[in-house]
Amino acid sequence: MSLAEEVAAFHTGRPDPAAMLGEFRRTAVLIPTVNDSLLSAEMDGIRWLYAFTDEDALVRFAAAREGGPGADWEYLTCTGARLLDVLVPGVEGPAGIALDAGSPYGMLFPPVAGIVPDAAALDIQETLPGGKQ
């Protein structure tokens, strides 16, 4: 199944987390940028980087944030694997991915073991010496 189909299956009660993560890692996603920075939001101490499965999802999100149609944002394209393995660990503090935020089939990829590298995983850091307590 495609990433969109895996996410839809999750939302309709037929989740396969391993397949969904695998599809996310293989799929090219769009990451909006503002002033040469990745667009993100912080919630409960986690920085969530926005990623979108296609331009339509990005445009809908941009229009909702900008107050109407016509929003034209710049974006980068990379695979989910690069986001999880390279960009997330490069963010200061814990970070995850918010895929298709604001859509009926949005999905979060939190900073936990099995999704991000162990060095960026909150559940691993809590058990390491010098990690969060």
The reply to whether 60 falls in a domain is: yes
Distance from first CA to last CA of the chain, Å, rounded? Answer: 39
The reply to whether 11 falls in a domain is: no
Q: What is the DSSP string of 48-101?
A: EEEEBSSHHHHHHHHHHHHTSTT---EEEEEEHHHIIIIIHHHSSS-EEEEETT
The reply to whether 12 falls in a domain is: no
Give the per-residue pLDDT at 64. Answer: 86
Give the per-residue pLDDT at 128. Answer: 47
CA distances from 72 to 30, 35, 131 (A): 13, 13, 41
pLDDT tens by residue, 11-47:
999 999 999 999 999 999 999 998 889 999 999 999 9
Give the per-residue pLDDT at 121. Answer: 92
Give the per-residue pLDDT at 40. Answer: 95
CA distances from 66 to 22, 58, 108 (A): 33, 12, 22
The reply to whether 3 falls in a domain is: no
pTM (predicted TM-score)? 0.87
Task: Say how many domains are in the chain.
Answer: 1
Q: Which domain holds residue 97?
A: 29-125
Q: Which residue has the tokens 């010496």?
A: 129
Closest by CA position to 8, among listed 40, 53, 42, 41: 53
Give the per-residue pLDDT at 34. Answer: 86
The reply to whether 20 falls in a domain is: no
Give the per-residue pLDDT at 132. Answer: 44
pLDDT tens by residue, 84-129:
999 999 999 999 999 999 898 899 999 999 999 999 999 875 554 4
* Pairing mode, strands 37-38 and 28-34: antiparallel
Give the per-residue pLDDT at 133. Answer: 39
Give the per-residue pLDDT at 65. Answer: 82
Average the pLDDT over 42-54 and give the result.
95
